[in-house]
Amino acid sequence: MPIVTWSDDYLLKNERINDHHKLFFKILNKLYDGIVKNESNQSIDSVIVELEKYSTTHFVYEEIYMLDISYGHMKDHISQHDIFRSKIKELKSAYSSNSIEAKLKLVAFLKEWTLGHIIEEDQRLAEWQDVSRASSRAERL
Ligand SMILES: [Fe+2]
Ligand SMILES: [Fe+2]
């Protein structure tokens, strides 16, 4: 059973970010699946590395995007990304300590973080796009 299920409630007004988030869900589910099936450390480690690489790609994309649109809540948003980045590091040490409980606890945290972050911070970012477009349209009038 997946730990996260995609629904249209998570759709934001930015297709590229939506595509990233859908892939994020897939990797989180792959990680959870590997942990509950007690797959080899090597295979779980490769998924953690995949999640780490993908989160870096996605966060950098959002952070550059924030710069592009002169986003007003950039500091708050980036500090939330930093929390995720540090949890991935913890997951790596939980992996080396070999504790399934620690891994499950961290995956549950990553799930809660991801859902809350999309609905609040990423949603606010996607809405800002509308505000900035509306204001640049307004300036052209
Ligand atoms: Fe974000
Ligand atoms: Fe995001």
- Total domains in the chain come to 1
Does 7 fall in a domain? no
Does 8 fall in a domain? no
**Comparing 132 with 102, which gets the higher pLDDT?**
102
Ligand 2 center to 109 CA (angstroms)? 16
**Could you read off the pLDDT of 51-62 as tens digits, one per residue?**
999 999 999 999
Does 3 fall in a domain? no
Does 21 fall in a domain? yes
**Could you read off the pLDDT of 40-80 as tens digits, one per residue?**
888 988 999 999 999 999 999 999 999 999 999 999 999 99
Does 6 fall in a domain? no
Mean pLDDT (whole number) for 97-120: 91
Does 5 fall in a domain? no
What per-residue string of b and e applies to 78-94 under the rule 16 or more CB within 10 Å gives b?
eebbeebeebbeebeeb
Does 9 fall in a domain? no
Domain coverage including residue 73: 14-140
Q: Taking ligand 2, which is a single-atom ion, which protein residues have CB atoms under 5 Å away?
A: 122
Ligand 1 center to 37 CA (angstroms)? 30
Q: Taking ligand 1, which is a single-atom ion, which protein residues have CB atoms under 5 Å away?
A: 62, 122
* CATH number of 70's domain: 1.20.120.50
Ligand 2 center to 140 CA (angstroms)? 31
